[in-house]
Amino acid sequence: MAMDDELLSRQMPHSLEAEQAVLGSMLIDADCIKDVMEKLRPDDFYLRQNREVFETIQTMFLYSRPIDALTVVGEMEKNGTYDDAATRAYLAQLMEVTPTSANVMEYAGLVLDKSLLRAVATAAGEITRLVQEGEGGAPAVLESAEQKIYAIRRGRSAQDMERIGPVLQGVLDHLAELSASGGAMQPGLPTGFSAIDDKTSGFGDSDLVILAARPGMGKSSLALNIALNVAKSSRKAVAVFSLEMSKEQLVTRVLSSEAAVENRRLLSGNLREADWVRIANATGVLSPLDIRFDDNPLLTVADMNAKCRRIDNLGLIVVDYLQLMTSAGGSGSGRTESRQQAVSDMSRMLKIMAKELNVPVLCLSQLSRANEKRGDDSKRPQLSDLRDSGAIEQDADIVMFIYREDYYKEESEQRNIAECIIAKNRHGETGKVRLTWSPDFTTFSTYEGRYEDEDE
């Protein structure tokens, strides 16, 4: 062992015996390899020689090659990690010190535990350096510290690059799962609106989805409908950040939708006996759901990110709405140019949050008045109508607009019929679909009438 390795061995947590037992188990029993691969990765092994052996076995496993001491030696000769003086003898030693693979997952758990402790020690050193060097103020250091610890909790480094092999295997596994369902499974998170899901294939992990409309079109209602549908169907947690409405107002809308009791009657308390029965039934459905509300109007993206990191089994984040958010500096006002830059920064940070947490973020956005200045037949929103910043369009994976003709024309024959216009979709086609709007219950539903989709 080199001198620097000996020095590090006295400082950093590791278990040489556990690492050798894991590798020995994989060499004598190929059936346990798939279980170990789900738990460990090469960086979890402290000793370089052990990392090289594990990485070789991992590559062979991904390509379905037979794995034993002889084949591993051959692979290490190919990839340049074979040492004539030590490798073959070391592999034999690994098998000798491991009489059985029965306890391999206990050994793997110990290897992972030591790896996490080393990661914590490394992060602590980096945080201490940030404090000592005085880079940024306390909020910036706290944010950096929290990101480092969160990356460890997720079991991966936010700065590590990954080889194509493991990523490719994950893609192939996902394709196999989709194929096994006969194409019936949505690759993304279903919204509960079949017409929207047919266009978007659901919301993908790490997607930033922008839902934009003029005030009064129902964008908050549609977002709440999607949040409720996701919580019901996926049984995952949904985080709703509302910078405009209170928690009570939001929950009242959700209750109105689920109980089919007019929102105005819930607000006034003018309820019938039958309404109370519906409310009781709806409460029984809603109470077990993991939908979390935050109505702090001064939240920043960093605040939201920190809160969401602490939510287990998170499935969707809803932000209502972008233009009301506070920038990292805490200023929500200023000259037009600075406000546009602030919105651009927040849009980018929302996309980064979606990628970091690996969940879709549904962010509501206001539209400018540009569409209202156009002629009667061209008021449907366009991407250029997004308010404050063109960066919103660039950052978003999906951009959806809500348009109701009866919003502009009282005599319209399209009463309570809404169009969901999918103007940008990185994963598929664009176009528009119809939804039915029920204002009494602040609810959208899939349009059941005959409608020929016309792509714009």
Residue closest to 143 by CA, chosen among 300, 316, 315? 300
* Alpha carbons 366 and 211: distance in angstroms, whole number: 9
Contact predicate 98/24, CB 8 Å: yes
* Alpha carbons 139 and 342: distance in angstroms, whole number: 18
Region label for 351, one of left (φ > 0), alpha (ψ between -120 and 50) or beta (otherwise): alpha
Q: Is 319 helix (H, G, I), strand (E, B) or coil?
A: strand
Active site residue 244: yes
* Alpha carbons 97 and 82: distance in angstroms, whole number: 21
* Alpha carbons 397 and 361: distance in angstroms, whole number: 10
Q: Is 262 helix (H, G, I), strand (E, B) or coil?
A: coil
Contact predicate 406/220, CB 8 Å: no
* Alpha carbons 93 and 21: distance in angstroms, whole number: 10
Contact predicate 309/150, CB 8 Å: yes
335, containing H or E segment: none
Phi, psi angle pair for 102, to nearest 5°: -60, -35
HEC sequence for 278-339: HHHHHHHHHCCCCEEEECCCCCCHHHHHHHHHCCCCEEEEEEECHHHCCCCCCCCCCCHHHH
* Alpha carbons 290 and 407: distance in angstroms, whole number: 34
The angle formed by the CA atoms of residues 44, 130 and 298, to the nearest 5 degrees, is 100
Contact predicate 269/244, CB 8 Å: no
Torsion on CA atoms 240, 242, 248, 251, rounded to nearest 10:
-40
Contact predicate 401/381, CB 8 Å: yes
Pairing, β 398-403 against β 361-366: unpaired
* Alpha carbons 56 and 157: distance in angstroms, whole number: 21
Give the tokens for residue 225: 């409908």
Q: How far is CA 427 from CA 198, 301, 399, 430, in A?
A: 11, 25, 12, 9
Catalytic residue (choose from 244, 248, 429, 456): 244
Active-site annotation, residues = 244
